[in-house]
Structure 1
Amino acid sequence: MLIQLYLLLILQILSCFAIEAKPKLTFDDFFDYTTFPFLKFSPTGQHLLIQTRHPSWNASAYENTLWLYDIQNQTKKLITTNLHQSIKPQWSPSAFTWSNNDSSVYIAVIDLWSIDKENELYKDEWKDVIQYRQHVVRSNSTIYRIDLNLNNLSLPVERNIVRNVSFLINQLLYVFYEEQLIVSSMSKLVENLNEFELYSIDLRNTSKLLKLTNNEAIEIELQLSIDGHHLLFLTFSLSSNKGKFNDTQYRLYSLNLMNEQLTRLGETFHGSINGYTIKHDSGVYILGQLGTEVQIYTEQSLTKDLIHHHGRNGTYESIVSSNKNGSIAFVYSSFEKPMEIYFINNIDQLKLAQATTNENDLFTRRNLPQTKLYNWINEDDHRMIAGILHYPPEMLESKNLSLLVLIHGGPYWASLNSRELAWHDWTSLATSEGWLALEPNYRGSTGYGDQFLNEIRYRPLSRPGKDILYGVDRLIKDGIVNLHRLAVGGYSYGGFLTNWLITQIRRFNAALSGAGVVDYASARGMMDMSVPLSYLFGGFPWEVSNIYQNEAPIYQLDRIHTPTHIITGQNDNRVPTSQSYILERGLHYLGIPVKLILFPKEGHSVT
């Protein structure tokens, strides 16, 4: 009797500490995730501009909302729920770009008047005939200075033309100390890298247009140093197959505007520099990716290595620093924590940082996958390959599981230690349905060095494909995966690799091909980014036809036995929709179960 009472008492005590089981993630939950595309400190350091992107169920679209956050009072004020996703709001005196006294603002617009006039002349001569290159590549911009009357804002503004340029402008930056504008050029088609460069315009003599770069890369995230003497920017490398450069991970550069000397920052860093912000004391905070981690580093001197600030494991994004007081804000997430914004007064508080937003609290109340890193060897060349294993909830280290291989796009990207719930990354949803998900960081992924990234060249499908297949083999040998329950999928380059993999083995029971390619010679002639393909394959189709044929699924389509689900945007210019039609028609002819789903009015990104 005493033993029974004792056991009853123990059970009652244990029940007091029992944690209520969390419900599993549902389909509707999955799409209820909020992201933070934009952060910016006010000049006083007392406020933050915060952009949130959240699904609006009533509108069947994403809602881009802009908030004004009061740091001291920890309150936020709604500015707009209709912020266009292409707009990055700025505080004066550095908005679109502001002049140094807030009385003027510089803007760049597409020269629609010239296009309309050209269209009229064109119709008179050519009627309804369309000349492809003239129609697609036309690109002129006009830079205006808008003058404001600060004493009477009700008066009409004055608009003055600064100059016309014969290219599209991606970003515009005002340099106050020398009265000049920095512009980055761009083109709708990525087929000539000379169309992506940096220029300066002397506002005292606007006829001068000085080219600042010539580097076969796309310059992004332009920022001016505190003293205004240096221009900082990231480069996204897209080398041509004829050029003197190789593709690299993201890099950070500083351009001295006084002598035009270009300096690479973080030169000793082995990984990819995914972002940065300028410190109030003229140093730089860098978001550096090594493997699956994105951490915060400081470069204070060109002669010293980067300083790693030890915070939490995971992924730091969108870091900003106040020029007034040095405080820092950033977006952070990890396998264990959903994405939120964090604020700290100085970098020494990084480990103690607390979230200032609570937009994704729902996901702390759901039973999400348990995750671990997983490494294996490509036995062809003995390269170590890394990946991420997402186990179904409460099944960490379980055996004999059903496997979904979910392949990231790019190829110059990577699966990270982050909690991202998005239309292209649905590991959390798959694991909630009992699947083990493997995200492989195959050859071509960032975060493992430039050599690892470039080893994809000349074998852009077969080499990373082998990386992935050896990972599946290893999981089977370790008893983690059931040999008879395998699926594979991916979007964009993940779709490219999915199409390739199902031509190589019959082992997969199902495949999801998202915006994939089956014939790279024809795809190259239709996509808006042809330069990367020429580089990856080592030349044009008429130069290295053997590589294009050996790496293309279309010539091995009769080896496919995997039922395949195909998805693509109806208006995709990045990866031509026609490639999905070709795959569907081929599999249908061969008698392989196949279904093609088109998303109306959607491009490459499903928004």
Structure 2
Amino acid sequence: TEVQIYSQAKLPAPFTKQNGWPGTYEVVAAADHSPRIAFIYSSLEHPTEVYLADSGDKLQQARPITSFNKIFTERELPKGKPYRWTADDGSSVEGMLIYPPGKFEAKHLPMFVLIHGGPADADGNHFEADWYQWDRLAASQGWLVFEPNYRGSSGYGDKFLMGIVPEIVSRPGKDILEGVDALVKDGVADRDHLAVGGYSYGGYMTNWLITQTNRFKTAVTGAGAVEHVGNWGDDDTTFDDAYSLGGRPWEAQQRYHDEAAIFQIDKVRTPTHMVAGADDIRVAVLEDYLLDHALHALDIPSTLLIFPGEGHSLSKNPWHGKIKVREELKWLEKYGGITTSP
């Protein structure tokens, strides 16, 4: 759950881990005629800034040269820690827990499972606070936020990364639900107050999970597919569906069926909020229309929010990201069964 800096004197010498702060180092840049290095650093409790170190072995003496996120240092931030559990096949799986402010390591908390996209992204000890990664905003509303690094996530080796093939949602979905079970069993999460959500592949997975269990009181999903044939044809990265499912639609017909939420949608009982960009070419808005239509036919409480002119990244208008999270938080409060923290 961390990204540290390693150095190599010369080929083929081994890599040496530098003694840095706990957290995540990114975009490391070395000077041509000086031992100085610059990098971006953050952790759960330290907002992202650019730092300068006199050399790679003096990371802990590095000084910030930007203060873009100073406002976050002036208020109490949610604390977090890694959490590990064992999958049904014996694999070790890891994720992050982000606690409500003032409730670090408290027990029996209402829990929101926030699923990262990619699927090859990974959550860890770094600072993010935006429309895509809004764990701190949810935590500030009283939720324990569980961010599972399910099979298919980066940072755990090639075997783990490729463990999503060809069971693109069912295998990682099991990882996630087993993590939820473990947190309930350990007394960390309140089994009667569980919610789930995510965007892109995180939305994809959310759509799948609400067909597999009714344990979640509510769900918030964004830009996620509910089937694979249309998504294979509409997705601007068509290769990923075919690769992850072991073939094109006519070559893996049964798997395209078995790994699709739409063919099990009649099992859904979870009130669901949906969001999409009208011009998304990664996951076409037609997938959201399909889910919305199905939930309406099943008389499941639901709402669909579509942002005009937006693609997959919701980058055309910064207000759209704010509106997205605002409406998702309102939905969690309405159906999640907890009172919003002041």
**Which residue in the other structure is 2:72 paired with?**
363
Q: Quote how far apart the aligned CAs of 1:301 are.
A: 2.8
Distance in structure 2 (CA, Å) of the matches to 1:305 and 1:455: 28
- Work out which of the two has the higher radius of gyration on C-alpha atoms and give 1 or 2: 1
**Which residue in the other structure is 2:275 paired with?**
567
Runs of 4+ in 1 over 3 A off after TM superposition: none
Please state whether the residue corresponding to 1:460 is helix, strand or coil.
Answer: coil
Q: Quote how far apart the aligned CAs of 1:504 are.
A: 0.2
Counterpart code for 2:43: S
Q: Quote how far apart the aligned CAs of 1:548 are.
A: 0.7
When the two structures are superposed, what TM-score results if normalisation uses the length of structure 2?
Answer: 0.91
Please state whether the residue corresponding to 1:294 is helix, strand or coil.
Answer: coil
Q: How many percent identity over aligned positions?
A: 48
1:313 aligns with one of 22, 39, 48: 22
Query: 1:178-227 CA distances to partner (integer Å, 9 max, x unpaired)?
Result: xxxxxxxxxxxxxxxxxxxxxxxxxxxxxxxxxxxxxxxxxxxxxxxxxx
1:384 aligns with 2:92: yes
Counterpart code for 1:597: L
**Which residue in the other structure is 2:266 paired with?**
558
Q: Quote how far apart the aligned CAs of 1:303 are.
A: 2.1
CA-atom RMSD in angstroms: 0.9
**Which residue in the other structure is 1:576 paired with?**
284
Distance in structure 2 (CA, Å) of the matches to 1:518 and 1:412: 19
2:299 aligns with one of 591, 595, 602: 591
Distance in structure 1 (CA, Å) of the matches to 2:79 and 2:105: 9
Q: Quote how far apart the aligned CAs of 1:449 are.
A: 0.2
**Which residue in the other structure is 1:432 paired with?**
140
Distance in structure 1 (CA, Å) of the matches to 2:238 and 2:90: 32
Q: Quote how far apart the aligned CAs of 1:308 are.
A: 1.0
Query: 1:553-580 CA distances to partner (integer Å, 9 max, x unpaired)?
Result: 0100100000000001111001111000
Distance in structure 2 (CA, Å) of the matches to 1:305 and 1:498: 41
**Which residue in the other structure is 1:304 paired with?**
13
Counterpart code for 2:24: T
Counterpart code for 1:339: T
Q: Quote how far apart the aligned CAs of 1:302 are.
A: 3.0
1:523 aligns with 2:231: yes
Distance in structure 2 (CA, Å) of the matches to 1:493 and 1:549: 18
Contact 2:193 2:217 in 1 (8 A): yes
Please state whether the residue corresponding to 2:22 is helix, strand or coil.
Answer: coil
**Which residue in the other structure is 2:151 paired with?**
443
Please list, as runs of the form range in 1=range in 2, the aligned pairs for 1:494-533 lying within 5 A after superposition. 494-533=202-241
Counterpart code for 1:382: G
Q: Quote how far apart the aligned CAs of 1:457 are.
A: 0.2
**Which residue in the other structure is 2:314 paired with?**
606
Distance in structure 2 (CA, Å) of the matches to 1:493 and 1:547: 18
Distance in structure 1 (CA, Å) of the matches to 2:197 and 2:14: 40
Query: 1:327-371 CA distances to partner (integer Å, 9 max, x unpaired)?
Result: 211110001200111012211211111211112111011111110
**Which residue in the other structure is 1:394 paired with?**
102
Counterpart code for 1:537: L
More strand by share: 1
Counterpart code for 1:470: E
Counterpart code for 1:303: P
1:339 aligns with 2:54: no
1:349 aligns with 2:63: no
1:329 aligns with 2:38: yes
Alignment size in residue pairs = 315
Counterpart code for 1:308: K
Please state whether the residue corresponding to 2:137 is helix, strand or coil.
Answer: helix
Distance in structure 2 (CA, Å) of the matches to 1:449 and 1:501: 25
Please state whether the residue corresponding to 2:14 is helix, strand or coil.
Answer: coil
2:255 aligns with one of 547, 567, 571: 547
Q: Quote how far apart the aligned CAs of 1:300 are.
A: 3.0
**Which residue in the other structure is 2:3 paired with?**
294
Please list, as runs of the form range in 1=range in 2, the aligned pairs for 1:229-308 lying within 5 A after superposition. 292-308=1-17
Counterpart code for 1:484: D
**Which residue in the other structure is 2:340 paired with?**
none
Query: 1:504-540 CA distances to partner (integer Å, 9 max, x unpaired)?
Result: 0011011011100001111100110011111110111
More helix by share: 2
Query: 1:79-138 CA distances to partner (integer Å, 9 max, x unpaired)?
Result: xxxxxxxxxxxxxxxxxxxxxxxxxxxxxxxxxxxxxxxxxxxxxxxxxxxxxxxxxxxx
Distance in structure 2 (CA, Å) of the matches to 1:370 and 1:359: 21
When the two structures are superposed, what TM-score results if normalisation uses the length of structure 1?
Answer: 0.51
Query: 1:228-284 CA distances to partner (integer Å, 9 max, x unpaired)?
Result: xxxxxxxxxxxxxxxxxxxxxxxxxxxxxxxxxxxxxxxxxxxxxxxxxxxxxxxxx
Q: Quote how far apart the aligned CAs of 1:318 are.
A: 1.5
Contact 2:49 2:64 in 1 (8 A): yes
Distance in structure 1 (CA, Å) of the matches to 2:255 and 2:75: 47
Distance in structure 1 (CA, Å) of the matches to 2:90 and 2:249: 30
Please state whether the residue corresponding to 2:208 is helix, strand or coil.
Answer: helix
Distance in structure 2 (CA, Å) of the matches to 1:564 and 1:570: 19
Distance in structure 1 (CA, Å) of the matches to 2:239 and 2:9: 36
Contact 2:54 2:62 in 1 (8 A): no
1:414 aligns with 2:122: yes
Counterpart code for 2:144: L
Please state whether the residue corresponding to 1:586 is helix, strand or coil.
Answer: helix
Structure with bigger RCO (C-alpha 8 Å, 6+ apart): 2
Counterpart code for 2:36: S
Structure 2: unaligned runs, 5 residues or longer:
316-342
1:482 aligns with 2:187: no
Distance in structure 2 (CA, Å) of the matches to 1:388 and 1:461: 20
